Structure 1
Amino acid sequence: MSSGQPSPSRVDVDLVVVGGGAMGLATAWQAASRGHEVVLVERFEQGHHRGASHGATRNLNVAYDDADYVALVQEARRRWDALADETGTPLLDLVGVVNHGRPAMLRRMRALHVDAGVPSELVDAAEAGERGRGIRFETEVLHVPGSGRIRAAEALTVLARAAEAHGARLRWSTPVTGLHVEGPERVRVVTADDEIVARRVVVTAGAWTEDVVGGLVRLPRLTVTQEQPAHFTVTDAEAVWPSVNHRPDPDRPGESWWPGVVYGMLTPGEGVKAGWHGAGPVVHPDRRSFEPDPGQLEQLRRYAREWLPGVDAETADPISCTYTTTDDEDFVLDRVGPVVVGAGFSGHGFKFTPLVGSILVDLVEGGDAPARFRRLGRP
C-alpha cells in the first residue's frame, strides 16, 4: 500500500482493529469468522508485557452483585467453551472461586445466582478452611464451583491462531500514528509503515485508548493505573487452591489498612498470585516505572501473612501491569460513525473476552451493545 494520500474510491479492507491484546484478538477472530476482511495492528511485539493482557492466569468468577454481569459471565463462559471446541485447546481450569468478606454482599450475590441458575453455596468459615486450608477465612464464604481461572497467556495465543485461521492478518510491531474519519463508511489508519483504508475501525488500545481515539470520539473518563500483584511461593504442597476474591469489610477495624479488594489464584509453576484491585498509582502507559510501590508491596506481604497461610509471604515476586477503568468500572462498547471503541476492561474484563469480541463485531455490523456500555459521544 502506498504511503501517499489514498484515492477517494479506495477501500482496502472491511475492518482494521487497533490493539492486539485480548479484546482486539477476540474481535479479529469474531470478525474474520463472520467473513470480514480484517487487519489487526499492534504497536508492540506479540506477547509483550507493557499492557494489561499478559500473564499466565486470570480469575473466572461469577460472583457479581449485579444481575447484568452475572448473565454476561454466563454467556462469556459459553463462548470460552466454543473457542476451546474450535481450537481443540482447553482454556479454563474450573478449580472454583471462593469469595469472602462483606457477608451481606455475598448473600445478595447468592440470591442472584439462584435467580440465574448459577450453582453456588454459602459455606461457613470453618468448613471453607477445611476445604482450602491455604486460605484463612473468618466470615461466611460464597463458593462458586463452576468458576476458576482462565489460562490467559494461552488464550492470547489461541485467539491469534484462530483469527489467522479465518483469514485475519495480524501485524505486530506496527504503531498507529493517526486515525482519520473520511466518511460514514471510511476511515484511514496511518501506521509507521503505510496507510490502510477501511469501512470500520475497532479501537481496543487499552491504556492508550485516549491517545489513539480521543480526538475522534468523546470518551468517558478512563483512568490508567500501574498495578502490582505478586506471586508467592506455596509452602503447603497438599493445599487445595481455588481462586479467591476477598473484600474488606468496613465494619471490621482490622481491615481498615487495606488499599482495596484482594484477588488471587494459583498460577501453576509460578505460585499463588495475589494483588490489590485497582489500587495502584495513576500513570501514563508510556511513562511507567514498572517498579512496585514499596508501601503497597509490604501491605501485600502483610495480607499474605495474615490471610494466606499456605504461602511464604516473604517470597513476593512482583508483576507490573496496567488497569484502564471507568469511574463506575462499566465497560465502553460503542460506535460513533465508522469508529468502534472497546475500553475500560481492566480489573474484571478478561473473563468476558470472547463475548466482548462478538459485541464489538455486532457494532461493526450496525448492531448494538448493551445499553449500559454505550457511552461514547461526538467530540
Structure 2
Amino acid sequence: MNPREQHAASESATYAIIGAGLSGAAAAWRLAQSGAEVIVLERDVPASALGSSHGSARIFRYAYQDAFYSDLVVQAKRGWDELEAASGERLITPSGSLDFGAVRDPQGLARVLDEVGVENELLSSAEASVRWPQLSFDTEVLWHPGAGVIDAEHSVEAMVRLAEAAGAQVRTGWEVASVRHGFTGYLVTSSTGRTVHAEQVIVAAGGWLPGLLADLDLPGGFADAMPQFEVRQENAFHYPYRQLADAGETPTDAATSWPTFIYKGEEIQTYSLPGGRDADFRGQKIAEYNGGRVIPGAAHQDGLIDPANRRRVTAFVEEFTPGLVPESYAETTCLFTNVPRDDMIIDRAAGVTILSPCSGQGAKFAPLLGELVLDLVAGSQQTADRFRAIGQSFAGVR
C-alpha cells in the first residue's frame, strides 16, 4: 500500500476530480466554493513535477489572433484578481509582453487587442530596439503591458488550500486506474484497489489523459468524438542575464526589467519569460514552441534534454537576445498536450467531464476554467462549441 494513502478504503463525494494541476485545482476551488462535496484524486502531489503545472514561470498574456481567446483572458484576469485577494499572494508578476516575427503578425494581434479593449502599442523594430536594447527585432513589435509571469506551483497550492478550506478533500499518491459507470454514479478505482464513489467525475489529468481514456467508461459516441491527443516532452532552457553576469550580481527577488516575449518566424517559434524562482531569478527561460519529441503519454517522459533542440534555441539566443549569455545554466523538460485544432477541450457526456486546456495555453485561464466547469457540471450552461470534443487527427494520422 502506498504510504501516502492513509485514508479509508472507500469514500464518496458528489464530484471526483482526477488531477491536481492548475485545471484540477481550479475546478476543485470553484466547486467547493459553491458548496459541492469534492474529492481530488492526485497520482502524486499537487503541481507535481511529473505534470504540466509545476514551477514558477508560465506566461500570462492577452495576445491571440482570435478575439474569442483574448476575451477569455480578460475574463480570466478577474478570477486571478479574486484568487490573489483570497490567498493573500501575488501569483502574477507584472512584466508586459512583446510579440514579433513574420509569422506572429503583430498588426493582426494589435487589432484583436483593440477589439477586446486591452491596452497595447505597435512599434517599429527600431523603436522597440531603443526601448529594449537587450533584444533584437526583425519585424514590427506588439507591446502589451498587462501581461505577466504566473507562479504556477504557488497558484495550484493556493487554489487547493482554498478548496480544502471550503470542504474539499485532497488525496495524494492516489493513481486512478479506472472509472466505471454504475446505477448511482461512478466508481473510481486506484491502482492499489481503493475506491471513490462519485455522482460525477472531472478528468483534469493533463499529459496523463491519453493513458486514461480507455479506462474512463465514456459513452460510445463521446469516446469516438475525442480528438487525437499529442503529448510532447518539451525542453526549456535558462540563459543568464548578461548585465548581472558581467557585474557578478546575484538577484534577491523576482524584480526584472525583462518582459515575456513570443517570437514566431519562418525558421523557429519560441517563447520566453523571466525564469523566476526556477532559475534563481538570474536568467530568462526560453523554449521552442512544440520543439520537443512526441511521446505516447506522460508515463513515457524521461526528462532527457534533446541536444538538437538546445542547439536551435541557443542559436536563437545568439541572434535575438544580445542581453543574454548564450550558455544555458539550467535546463528542464515539461509536458505539452496538443490537439489538432489547438482549442481547449471542456466537454461532458453523462457524468464525465473532460477538462484538457490543450496546446500549451491553459495556465493563463486557470481560475476561469474552474468557473466554466462549475457552469457545465451544475447544468446551468452548455459548453461552448469551441470546447467540444470533436473527432480530429493530426495530419497524416488516421
What TM-score does the superposition give when structure 2 sets the normalisation length? 0.86
* Contact in 1 for aligned 2:237/2:328 (Cα 8 Å): no
Q: Contact between 1:326 and 1:344, CA under 8 Å: does it hold in 2?
A: no
Separation (CA, whole Å) in 1 of partners of 2:21 and 2:186: 21
Q: Which residue in the other structure is 2:38 paired with?
A: 38
CA shift, 1:68, in A, is 0.4
Aligned partners of 1:29 and 1:162 also within 8 Å: yes
In the alignment, is residue 278 of structure 1 matched against residue 282 of structure 2? no
Q: Please state if 1:182 is matched with 2:199.
A: no
Pick closer, same or farther for the CA change 1:299–1:104 going to 2, 3 Å: closer
Tell me what 1:206 maps to.
206
CA contact 2:135–2:323 (8 Å) conserved in 1: yes
| Counterpart in the other structure of 1:23 | 23
2:278 equivalent to 1:264: no
What is the deviation of 1:295?
A: 0.5
Q: CA RMSD in A?
A: 1.9
1:339 Cα deviation after fit = 0.2
Q: CA deviation at 1:214?
A: 3.5
* Structure 2 partner of 1:244: 261
Quote the Cα distance in structure 2 between the aligned partners of 1:94 and 1:171.
33
Distance in 2 (alpha carbons) for counterparts of 1:15 and 1:200: 5
Contact 1:103/1:139, CA 8 A, preserved across alignment:
no
Q: Quick one: structure 1 residues 166 and 154, their matched pair in 2 at CA, closer, same or farther if it must change by over 3 Å? A: same
Partner secondary structure for residue 264 of structure 1: strand
Per-residue CA shift, 1:39-73, capped at 9, x if unaligned?
00011134421111112111111110001001101
- Asked if 1:375 is matched to 2:374, the reply is no
8 Å CA contact 2:46, 2:156 repeated in 1: no
1:9-43 Cα shifts (integer Å, max 9, x gaps): xx921100001111000100000000001000011
Partner of residue 347, structure 2: 334
Structure 2 residue ranges without an equivalent (≥5):
1-6, 248-255, 392-398
Preserved contact between residue 131 and residue 240 of structure 1 (Cα < 8 Å): no
In structure 2, relative to structure 1, the CA distance for the partners of 1:335 and 1:314 (3 Å cut) is: same
Distance 1:211 1:131, change over 3 A: same
Q: Secondary structure at the match of 1:311?
A: coil
Consecutive unaligned residues of structure 1, counting only runs of 5 or more, are 5-10, 251-255
Deviations 1:62-111 (A, max 9, x none): 11000100110110111101111112112111210000112782211111
Shift of 1:369: 2.1
Matched, 1:224 2:223: no
Pairs aligned (count): 361
Identity %: 30
User: What TM-score, normalized by structure 1, do the two folds share?
Assistant: 0.90
Mean Cα displacement is larger for which, 359-368 or 99-108? 99-108
CA distance in 2, matches of 1:45, 1:75: 28
**Which has the higher mean CA deviation after the structures are superposed, 66-75 or 336-345?**
336-345
| Aligned counterpart, 2:394 | none
Give the structure 2 partner of residue 306 of structure 1: 319
Cα drift, residue 316 of structure 1 = 4.4
Give the equivalent residue in structure 2 for 1:167.
Answer: 167
SS in 2 for 1:282: strand
Kept in 2: contact 1:113–1:119 (CA 8 A): yes
Match of 2:365 in 1: 352
Q: Which amino acid aligns with 2:294?
A: V
Distance in 2 between the 1:145 and 1:225 partners? 30
SS in 2 for 1:296: helix
- Alignment counterpart, residue 315 of structure 1, candidates 295, 305, 328: 328
SS at match of 1:236: helix
Alignment of 1:79-98 (within 5 A): 79-98=79-98
Q: Secondary structure at the match of 1:53?
A: coil
